[in-house]
Chain A
Amino acid sequence: MTGRARLVLAALMSHWRRRPLQLAMLLAGIMLATALWSGVQAVNAEARASYAEAADRLGTGTLDRLEPAPGAVLTTADFVALRRAGWIVSPLVEGRLRAGEGRVALLGIEPATRVALGPAEGGAVAEGDLLAFITPPGLGFADAEVIRELEGADLGGLTVAPREGLPPDTLVVDVGIAQRLLNLGERLTALVVAPEQPPGLAPLEQVAPHLLRKAPQDRADPEALTGSFHLNLTAFALLSFIVGLFITQSAVGLAFEQRRQVVRTLRALGVPLAEVLGVMAAELAILALVAGLAGILLGWAVAAALMPGVAATLSGLYGAEVSGALALRPVWVLSGLGMALAGAGLAGARGLLRTARMPLLAAGQARPWAVAAARGLRRQVLGAGALALALPLCLAWGGLVGGFAALACGLLAAALLLPVVLDAGLRWLAGRVRGVLAQWFVADTRQQSGGLSLALMALMLALAANIGVGTMVGSFRSTFLGWLDQRLVAELYVNARTEPEARAIRDWLAPQVDAILPIWSAEVPLRGQPGRVFGVVDHPTYRDHWPILRARPGAWNEVARGTGVLVNEQLFRRAGLSLGDSLDLPGGALPVVGVYSDYGNPSPQAIIGQDLFDARFPEAPRLNQAVRVDPDRAAALAEALRDRFDLPGSAVTDQAQVKAVSLRIFERTFSVTAALNVLTLGVAGIALLTGLLTLASMRLPQLAPVWAAGLTRRRLARLELARTLALAAATALYAVPVGLGLAWMLLAVINVEAFGWRLPMQISPELIARLGVAALATALAAGALPALRLARITPSQLLRVFADER
């Protein structure tokens, strides 16, 4: 930068020294926008890194696996046979282990053969630990968090030692120990295949024809499953970013207006226009970098606060394990700085353009915002119209991205129309109010609404997002509760550790209860997606309560006879099925006879009759069952079961416990969304404060004559506050239909795309009323300081409006 450019920069930046509050608002805008964006990006980056790390550590990342074909079983004998045939494979056992109320992932490996697969694979076990690792009761490794969770769990004498760098929420043990802990007998989950195999091997079809070789891309990918969740977070972050940008735009726009005369003077004194523009852009970049760095630090704090909730959500909803801790990743730091620069550039572009077009010799008065905003109204209508036209195109484009793009179009169109609607409303009101003060109040509000339009748009977006997401979550919650009531009809749920134990439990229970309903399932690909098939016995529990959405007459009879299959809504919608369509299953296709709602997971599921299930999936584990019994006897029976079979407390759960756990998972799932909602509203509040504070300095010429005409400063301050509240109330009113439209889009478009289910919308007047109060409180908080400053302004400051020296 030349000395002259530095001088010009110093002259321009000296503006901020005289207006520290305005500078603080500008920095706050960029900082908040960057913080929320980079915070969510940090969460996403951490989650993705966890998926990748887990995939690598489990040998699922880059290596092929041998897995049993549907209905078949993989055992230690297969491993031995393949090794004898020369195949370089390593056995793997994967499962979930109960630890207190939660579960941890259990990973069984065979250290000797895993070393052959690469350094990372055998890295968990050091040479000195090898003997203890493979010798019962065994030595396991986990991170400190998992060790804490496992305290008190019955691990059959297993010692668990801390080890860094393991997949999150995972206990790593020897494969034999894992089989024992999971009661799998000789069964294995998979065999990991080394990429380099000796030449002349006997083909897999010959050695183990019941095994399938799967490449990494054929398997369920947690990143794909959780993609919609991360997209949802990103959409929220983008919304917050836009709201933050409104603050920046507000402060930058004002700074450009206030410095028009300085720019003219600089040019009159011989500074070329290009240099003025270059220096202004450099000034903005410097401010954006400073605020962006602060935003990234704040984003780090936001991410650290959100991360445990996100980890719980991903684990509860998708079974994807993500560390609750946060690591510094360059990706999101750079993305945050990039967004800060891009955002500041976007906010300053209009000012720079106007500076470039500003005639050198025009009058030197700062142009009132109201005038500029009034001229922009027509353009805003045109912009809103274009966005409204783009909305159906985005919907037609389809997919989750199309859905979010349609949402963005709708929200931005509504935001652009807000100042137009407010102006029209005030114009209408102006012709109807009586009394000189009321007329002045309305006229002045109309003039000021232009200057506040960006802040009001930010408030409207935040309120609409709150109403939309709140309505969506509320609808989901009440539907989910109803669904839980339908799905969790049985009084007790019993999980046995072994099949003999399960048989013994059933035998013991049979004479004492009304019914025992097996909950047995097998993992099966359904229409190309990893899914699960359940068997059900023919019982009124299902016929009377199961949450059927649509079914052929006599559907349950067909299921019981083994001539029909029920599918969950997500499979039905994603596969584009119709009733009567055929669904491929191991052992032969069956016609779809009904659809049921399933809000417990995003994966496809199907239900067939128990007899058919037994015939087609003889090797499926038969451990879990539901028990129908007189509700008054349930607690005593549960206690007796635990005593009789020495079952851990968590093996026998009653309906209320399962519902409570399900609800807890549900609440955690939306805790992150709720936190982002509150943050967005907070940012909108700051946007309003920024707008009011920056406008306050320009309002004196409008207020001084009214003061001189006989209104006290205190009364003027009250009127200013009333004006802010009135504008906020009108904005909140406008946000209601926008928010409900957003809720509809979330329920009818986004949820269907993301999860495969569609929920009925349930409007909550209480939620809307609460947010209306929140909007007024936000406006009150934002309007209080400028009003207070006006009430305390000195007469000399007001008189300067009339003085020549001004």
Chain B
Amino acid sequence: MSSGKAEVVSARGIVKAFPSAAGPVAVLNGVDLALRGGESLAVTGESGSGKSTLLHLIGGLDVTDGGALAVLGTDLRTADDRARAALRRERIGMIFQQFNLIPSLTVAANLAFQARLAGRHDPARVAALAGALGLSQLMGRYPEQLSGGQQQRVAIGRALAGQPPLVLADEPTGNLDEATGDAVAALMLDLVRQQDTTLVLVTHSLRLAALCDRQVHLHAGRLA
């Protein structure tokens, strides 16, 4: 942990509810969170506890109903869709449970995709990442030709290729078997630390959570 570093995520009293037939259902009910550069944080909790919702709010994929939320200096309460998109594109790497690769692009094109979007494409870095992720031999393949573990490694590479200061990972091993999940998680954490990148990891796995610098548990809409 590097306590002298700038605050990457700052959340104060975040509230989020979703509409339902029986009226709004509060998912986050006053969440406070502070995260500094280079830190890795695991968010655990039961299904439906709001882990992914918190991650989506930090990533600017959704907006809070109340409270204050700033990510990498951007006030997400006031940022419009375009500003939130720019934040994600240029400063955040995202890793999804479903991998979310672009099925019609090759592994090489998927790996470089977000870095190119951000205008920070470095072929040497992509090649190095591919080597580190064990993808060098698979660069010409399409996602459907890969196993789940391979696809998730591509997703991790895509998130890190542009060297973003923040990576958000939503159940990155949820679709993988235990051994593969462990290997992929170890690889991800290793690369994140090498880059001194801040990581927010949402997971069910206490074993995976234990690998992070800090752990928080989400229960009844609050962090414990």
Interface positions of A (Cβ within 8 A of B): 3-4, 7-8, 11, 14-18, 261-262, 264-274, 360-361, 364, 804-805
Q: Is B105's CB under 8 angstroms from A11's CB?
A: yes
Q: Is B100's CB under 8 angstroms from A261's CB?
A: yes
Cβ 8 A contact of B114, one of A14, A270, A274: A270
Using known A-B contacts A11-B105, A14-B105, determine if residue A264 contacts B117 with beta carbons closer than 8 Å: no
Using known A-B contacts A18-B142, A805-B148, determine if residue A269 contacts B117 with beta carbons closer than 8 Å: yes
Cβ 8 A contact of A268, one of B82, B90, B94, B148: B94
Whether a CB of chain A sits under 8 angstroms from the CB of B17 is no
A267 to B89, CA, bound (A): 9
Tell me which residues from 163 to 193 in chain B have a Cβ below 8 Å from any Cβ of chain A. 175
Whether a CB of chain A sits under 8 angstroms from the CB of B81 is yes
Cβ 8 A contact of A17, one of B104, B114, B116: B104
Whether a CB of chain A sits under 8 angstroms from the CB of B147 is yes
Using known A-B contacts A11-B105, A805-B147, determine if residue A269 contacts B114 with beta carbons closer than 8 Å: yes
Whether a CB of chain A sits under 8 angstroms from the CB of B220 is no
Cβ 8 A contact of B81, one of A15, A17, A272, A361: A272
Instruction: Enumerate 17 A-B pairs (CB-CB under 8 Å) in ascending A order.
Output: A3-B116, A7-B116, A18-B142, A262-B103, A265-B101, A267-B85, A268-B59, A269-B88, A270-B89, A270-B92, A271-B85, A271-B117, A272-B82, A272-B86, A360-B61, A361-B61, A805-B147
**Which residue of B has the minimal Cβ distance to A269?**
B114
Q: Is A3's CB under 8 angstroms from B119's CB?
A: yes
Q: Which residues of B contact A262 (CB under 8 A)?
A: 102-104
Cβ 8 A contact of A269, one of B104, B113, B148: B113
Q: Which residues of B contact A265 (CB under 8 A)?
A: 100-102
Additional pairs, 20, CB under 8 Å, beyond known A264-B100, A268-B59: A3-B119, A11-B104, A11-B105, A14-B105, A15-B104, A16-B104, A261-B100, A266-B102, A267-B85, A268-B88, A268-B94, A268-B100, A269-B94, A270-B90, A270-B117, A272-B81, A272-B82, A273-B85, A361-B56, A364-B100
- B91 to chain A: closest CB distance in Å? 9
Whether a CB of chain A sits under 8 angstroms from the CB of B87 is yes
**Which residue of B has the minimal Cβ distance to A360?**
B61
Q: Which residues of A contact B32 (CB under 8 A)?
A: none
Q: Is A360's CB under 8 angstroms from B62's CB?
A: yes
**Which residue of B has the minimal Cβ distance to A806?**
B144
A17 to B90, CA, bound (A): 28
Q: Is B86's CB under 8 angstroms from A14's CB?
A: no
Q: Which residues of B contact A16 (CB under 8 A)?
A: 104
A17 to B113, CA, bound (A): 17
- B157 to chain A: closest CB distance in Å? 13
Q: Which residues of B contact A361 (CB under 8 A)?
A: 56, 61-62
- A629 to chain B: closest CB distance in Å? 81
- A705 to chain B: closest CB distance in Å? 21
Tell me which residues from 94 to 134 in chain B have a Cβ below 8 Å from any Cβ of chain A. 94, 96, 98, 100-105, 109, 113-114, 116-119
Q: Is B113's CB under 8 angstroms from A7's CB?
A: yes
Q: Which residues of B contact A269 (CB under 8 A)?
A: 88-89, 94, 113-114, 117
Q: Which residues of B contact A804 (CB under 8 A)?
A: 148, 175
**Which residue of A has the minimal Cβ distance to B112?**
A7
Q: Is A268's CB under 8 angstroms from B119's CB?
A: no
- B150 to chain A: closest CB distance in Å? 10
Please indicate which of the listed interface residues B98, B109, B117, B142 has the most CB atoms of chain A within 10 Å of its own CB.
Answer: B117
Q: Is A273's CB under 8 angstroms from B104's CB?
A: no
Q: Is A18's CB under 8 angstroms from B100's CB?
A: no
Please indicate which of the listed interface residues A18, A360, A804, A805 has the most CB atoms of chain B within 10 Å of its own CB.
Answer: A805
Q: Which residues of B contact A7 (CB under 8 A)?
A: 113, 116-117
